[in-house]
Amino acid sequence: MSTASNFSDNESNFSDLDQFENQEESINAISVTIADLLDQLSNNVYQYEVHVQYIQTLRQSALFDELKEAREMMHSIFPLSEEMWREWIEDESRIASTKEEKQRVIQLYSKAVQDYLSINLWKEYVSYIVQEYKNGLNEMELENESECTITLDQVRKIFDEANRETCYYITESHQIWDAYKDFEVEILEQASPRDEQQNIRVKKMYESRLKIPHATVDKTFSDYSSFITKYDNSNYENVMIETNKYVSETKGKYYERDQYENALTASNNSLDKFMDYIDFEKKQKKPVVNAIRTLYERAIANYYFDNTLWENYILFLFEKYLIDKKVSISILIKTAERSVRNCPWSGDLWGHYIRILEKNFSSPEVIVNIYNRALSIGMLKNNIDDLIKVIISNVDYERRKILAYKGPISQENGSSLVNLLEEGIKLVKETFRIDDPYYRLEKYLIEIETLIKNLSKARQIWNELCKNHRNESEFWIRYADWEKAVGNLDDVRKVYKRASQQNTDWPERIFDAWEHFEHQYGTVDNFELAVIFIKKQMTIVAQRRERAALEEAQNAQSEGLSQVVPAMQIAEDNKSLEAIDSISSEQYSDTKKRKPEDEQQMKELPVAKRNKAQQFEKPKRDREFATIIVSNLPFDVKEGELKTIFHECGKIKEIRFLVDTVNAQKTAYIEFNEKESVPAALTKDKKRIGDKEICVYRISERILYVTNFPPSIDIEELFKKYGEILSVRKPSTKHKSNRVFCYVEFKERNSAQAALEMNGRELEPGKKIVVMISNPLLKKERSAPIQTEVYVRNLPSNVEQNELKSLFQTYGPVTFVRIPMTDDNKCKGFAFVEFENKAHAKASLALNSTEFKGCVLNVTLSEINRNQIQKEGKINEREKNKKSKRRQEGFKESEKRSKTVAFTKLPKDTTEESIRNMLSQKFKDEAISKITMSHDRCAYVEFEHIEDAGKAALHFNKYKLENTIISAVIRSDLPSTLAELAVQRDDKPAKMTMVPRRLIAPSSKLGTKRGPGKIGISSSSKKGQLVKPTKDSNSFTENQDDETKDENNSKKSNDYFRNIFYNASNS
């Protein structure tokens, strides 16, 4: 017995020992984790997720003192979530026993309700103070109320603040007000004798509440009726009649707002619905500032990382402070501080904060500390724009301080501004390794150097800027204007002469500015010499453009004429655009109709240039991809306002306006240089300009692709009921193709959407029309005729079309004969003959090796796309279904790629979690659909909405992640393989997300007269673009624009191209 008992005791001891060892191992592991997290924070204290993990680990370890310090450290940098505040307050209140400890809990509640608007936290706050007040009265049993944790006046002060901050939260505010009312009514009921002052207090509470719309207004009115019956029954009828007057108005206000509350609930509190609600409140005859503030606070509680939302809120408060005096400066300061704690990467928000402090006459030390804090956080180093905005805001403050206290800027007091700007320029270059493409700090420095009379230094800065901006006409205009402002007229001429010799983006603008300058300041000699020089340069520019156009045309020849956009097609495309061209013709005063001698210069281009052109890549016309439409604009909107909004999305090539004077409406077409700019531009949708909310969408969203309709149908008549039609484009008829399709371009996007209801309608028995939104991304190469066409070679140069038709008609009806001609109108030696059916085409092969006008003919079937036809020559239903399915899958895949952002050049060992942490700066988790990690340091992030993908590509391109500059691009804009992407990015410098805003000259052109809106052949071939070579030189292709290739991949002279495009433009 004793032995067994000892054995049992030993076994128990061993078990306790194992448990102790396990606990010790766990403690050691937690200690290691804590030390590691502390080390991470010591290296960079601005890591939100590390703070959260550190606090959670300490909370599990029951290290209360360290936990308290960790929470205070995090709160000094970041706002805390409602859940984190609750945990903190719960931990503190659990051990609070003394008066001081309980007052600390109250202080924590006070801080918690400042971060975000939370009904739950306010409710817990007022509940806690009421309970502590009652406990103090019950337990202390003292007449001296000051011994309590909290006094009655303090309780009322907190209740007043809670009611003020929540009373316009119309669906939830009753939770706070009811608690306040119950507290005061309880005091009234316990008073003995009756306290008349308390009676009046409660009565005023009811009256104020019944004038504010809220969800329980009927209950409040009923409770008030009972209150009056009990405490003022003799005046009941008079009081209730008077009250009923404004209660009816309050109910009406509530019902107006109830639809917006329902929309918020249905959309899961979407930001768009919040903005609709805010706009509604702003448009009221007498807007209630606190109601609008409450809506902004509700929106921010859901979208605290949206810096644009914060900025709109601050600007609203600033307006009410400066104009209406309805907002105090203290509210502005608190809101600005909260904004930079939530979005420390926003240069705009830091700039507003500095200006608000300046408006409050804060000390220079305070403002300098805010500036240094903005720089030290390190989040401004991810975007050059934001960093520059903060630097400029600080320099602005310093400049205004000098003007206010030291007088005009001079050599004595201007050195501090120079130092700040030079330090800023150095910081930008060290941070981003690139110069600011808008040279904003340099322009500011030039102005200061000019004010302090240091013109040589200012001129030196201009000359240094020339290295990076020599091709920008706007830069040279600014430089010349500066020289003119400082009075050096001869130096102005030197600048214009130097600028005219550069290969700028808009030389005509420089020529016009120089000529205008000489009109104002020049002598006869000055003016004539300038004109002579300008004319010579214009000739050089014209030759340069002609060469570029010819090179482009010959480049395209290597892939076939079907891929070139001929002048005739461009003219067709631009019928509607010409109507919206608002560029003044005065800007093109020097661009006249091409003279005969200009044509002669084209003919005299050396052959070597033509051969060299064939080595270039095929240009691609990206106009449909790179153009957006901005509608619902204010009638008085200017081009500069649009450039201000859209310049950050990418380099703007051209802005054109469509003006409807009858309805006082204005629409803008904005064409970017790069199609990659469009997704970012689409994020500007719903932005406000003046009192209007603009609509931004792709140009293709109002163009329909219509096919499978009877040829006799009048398309314009069929679709005009849906809205105004700008144009109906049909395929070229010169090939007598049996394909029936067209493009219908509406004036409004809504009209195109409405017209989609036509899709699938049966216009003829068994023939359903197909109507879809045009999608340029789905364009296919042209397919060859379905074995009804023969290719005839070795023809004599004097063959006539009717001769060839007569020859082949013996084998069956000929529907079309095409004979490519030389410049002198002679046959090039080959032709295409199309029959009505395949059998006749095959029968005509009997003419192969026969003699015709002294030549032995070579007759073969034209090359075909065998994937599109059956062996019998008919497309069966199964193939049709597959084709339709592929088309639909193509649309879905295109949409998916447009919502996916490819992050490349990631740091090694980057995980999905680190990608999510990075994206959490701008997006909530629900905005992200899927993250796929790939090889070669790549990740694909699919978003729920295209707009979010555009924002991500714009914000995170050139983003610094773990000291590595990463790239972000919409996946639909990527090459088909990552290998191609690698080639592009390794061989060529990465494209910048932000490019200079410039004024762009009209595109170079062939065979079209110059002038506003007359666009010729685009010369915007992209560097580094990979072009897939044509596998079969004999094939010719077909795309949605129905452009065709004329021959095999044979070389052609400049005269050949010139004839094609001149004939096209003249037709």
Task: Write out pLDDT tens, residues 941-972.
Answer: 998 888 788 888 878 887 888 878 888 888 76
* CA atoms of 41 and 58, how far apart (whole Å): 14
Confidence tier at 995 by pLDDT (50, 70, 90): very low
pLDDT at residue 626 greater than cutoff 90: no
What is the separation, in whole angstroms, between the first and last Cα of the chain? 119
For 151-165, 794-808, 1000-1014, which range has the lowest pLDDT when averaged over its residues? 1000-1014
Confidence tier at 904 by pLDDT (50, 70, 90): confident
Residues 6+ apart with CB under 8 A from 1009: 593, 594
- Angle in degrees, 0-180, between the axes of helices 524-557 and 489-500, rounded to the nearest 10: 20
Q: Which CATH architecture has domain 40-49+59-263?
A: Alpha Horseshoe (1.25)
* CA atoms of 205 and 176, how far apart (whole Å): 13
Check residue 988 and give its pLDDT: 40
SS3 at position 931:
strand
Specify the DSSP element, H or E, that contains 941. strand 938-943
Question: CA 775, 781, 783 angle in degrees (round to 5)?
Answer: 125
Distances (CA, A) of 1056 to 590, 614, 833, 873, 1010: 29, 15, 22, 35, 22
Query: Mean pLDDT across the stretch 872-887?
Result: 53
Check residue 118 and give its pLDDT: 95
Task: Write out pLDDT tens, residues 218-235.
Answer: 999 999 999 999 998 999
For 421-435, 602-616, 882-896, which range has the lowest pLDDT when averaged over its residues? 602-616
Check residue 310 and give its pLDDT: 96
pLDDT at residue 23 greater than cutoff 70: no
Beta bridge partners of residue 772, listed in sequence order: 705
Task: Write out pLDDT tens, residues 1019-1063.
Answer: 333 333 333 333 343 333 334 344 333 434 444 555 555 554 445
What letter does residue 958 receive in the DSSP assignment? T
Confidence tier at 328 by pLDDT (50, 70, 90): very high
pLDDT at residue 881 greater than cutoff 70: no
Kindly report, as residue ranges, where domains of CATH 1.25.40.10 are found in the chain.
40-49+59-263
Residues 6+ apart with CB under 8 A from 679: 898, 946, 949, 950, 953, 954, 970, 973
Check residue 395 and give its pLDDT: 96
* CA atoms of 587 and 477, how far apart (whole Å): 14
* CA atoms of 515 and 513, how far apart (whole Å): 6
Distances (CA, A) of 332 to 109, 328, 358, 390, 971: 22, 7, 12, 18, 41
Which three-class secondary structure string do you get for 171-221?
A: CCCHHHHHHHHHHHHHHHHHCCCCCHHHHHHHHHHHHHHCCCCCCCHHHHH
Task: Write out pLDDT tens, residues 499-537.
Answer: 999 999 899 999 999 999 999 999 999 999 999 999 999
Confidence tier at 732 by pLDDT (50, 70, 90): low
pLDDT at residue 24 greater than cutoff 90: no
Beta bridge partners of residue 791, listed in sequence order: 832, 860
Check residue 884 and give its pLDDT: 56
The phi and psi torsions of 117 (rounded to 5 degrees) equal -70, 120
Distances (CA, A) of 650 to 291, 363, 473: 38, 39, 18
For 80-89, 603-612, 698-707, which range has the lowest pLDDT when averaged over its residues? 603-612
Beta bridge partners of residue 339, listed in sequence order: none
For 460-464, 556-560, 652-656, which range has the lowest pLDDT when averaged over its residues? 556-560
Task: Write out pLDDT tens, residues 389-444.
Answer: 999 999 999 999 999 988 898 888 889 999 999 999 999 999 988 888 899 999 99
Check residue 871 and give its pLDDT: 42
pTM: 0.56
The upper half-sphere exposure of residue 204, i.e. CA atoms within 13 Å in the direction of its Cβ, equals: 6
pLDDT at residue 1015 greater than cutoff 60: no
pLDDT at residue 1016 greater than cutoff 50: no
* CA atoms of 183 and 164, how far apart (whole Å): 17
* CA atoms of 257 and 445, how far apart (whole Å): 51
What letter does residue 656 receive in the DSSP assignment? E
The phi and psi torsions of 838 (rounded to 5 degrees) equal -65, -35
SS3 at position 631:
strand
Task: Write out pLDDT tens, residues 798-852.
Answer: 888 888 988 998 888 888 888 888 877 788 888 989 888 888 888 888 888 888 8
pLDDT at residue 123 greater than cutoff 90: yes
Distances (CA, A) of 348 to 78, 315, 340, 951: 18, 11, 10, 17
Distances (CA, A) of 210 to 206, 228, 246, 287, 963: 6, 14, 8, 18, 58
Kindly report, as residue ranges, where domains of CATH 3.30.70.330 are found in the chain.
789-862
One-letter amino acid at 457 equals: K
3-state helix, strand, coil in the chain (%, to 5): 60, 10, 30
Residues 6+ apart with CB under 8 A from 688: 694
Who has greater pLDDT, 742 or 875?
742
* CA atoms of 190 and 188, how far apart (whole Å): 6
* CA atoms of 658 and 918, how far apart (whole Å): 41
* CA atoms of 418 and 410, how far apart (whole Å): 11
Provide the mean pLDDT of the chain: 79
Query: Mean pLDDT across the stretch 266-276?
Result: 94
Query: Mean pLDDT across the stretch 652-666?
Result: 78
pLDDT at residue 4 greater than cutoff 90: no
SS3 at position 629:
strand
The upper half-sphere exposure of residue 162, i.e. CA atoms within 13 Å in the direction of its Cβ, equals: 30
CATH 3.30.70.330 fits 789-862, yes or no: yes
pLDDT > 70: percent of the chain: 75
CB 213 within 8 A of CB 254: yes
Check residue 865 and give its pLDDT: 40
Instruction: Report which listed range, 10-14, 343-347, 900-904, is most confident.
Output: 343-347
Query: Mean pLDDT across the stretch 458-470?
Result: 94
* CA atoms of 1067 and 1065, how far apart (whole Å): 5
* CA atoms of 558 and 1030, how far apart (whole Å): 8
Check residue 607 and give its pLDDT: 38
* CA atoms of 103 and 93, how far apart (whole Å): 10
Who has greater pLDDT, 251 or 877?
251
Query: Mean pLDDT across the stretch 21-48?
Result: 80
> Torsion angle of alpha carbons 329, 334, 337, 341, nearest 10°?
-160
The upper half-sphere exposure of residue 312, i.e. CA atoms within 13 Å in the direction of its Cβ, equals: 22
Check residue 671 and give its pLDDT: 87
CB 1024 within 8 A of CB 528: no
Check residue 978 and give its pLDDT: 42
Confidence tier at 590 by pLDDT (50, 70, 90): very low
Confidence tier at 709 by pLDDT (50, 70, 90): confident
* CA atoms of 499 and 470, how far apart (whole Å): 8
Check residue 666 and give its pLDDT: 83
* CA atoms of 388 and 441, how far apart (whole Å): 7
* CA atoms of 125 and 713, how far apart (whole Å): 72
Who has greater pLDDT, 320 or 870?
320
* CA atoms of 243 and 217, how far apart (whole Å): 12
CB 982 within 8 A of CB 976: no
For 185-189, 338-342, 480-484, 659-663, which range has the lowest pLDDT when averaged over its residues? 659-663
DSSP characters over 108-127 = HHHHHHHHS--HHHHHHHHH
CB 562 within 8 A of CB 1045: yes
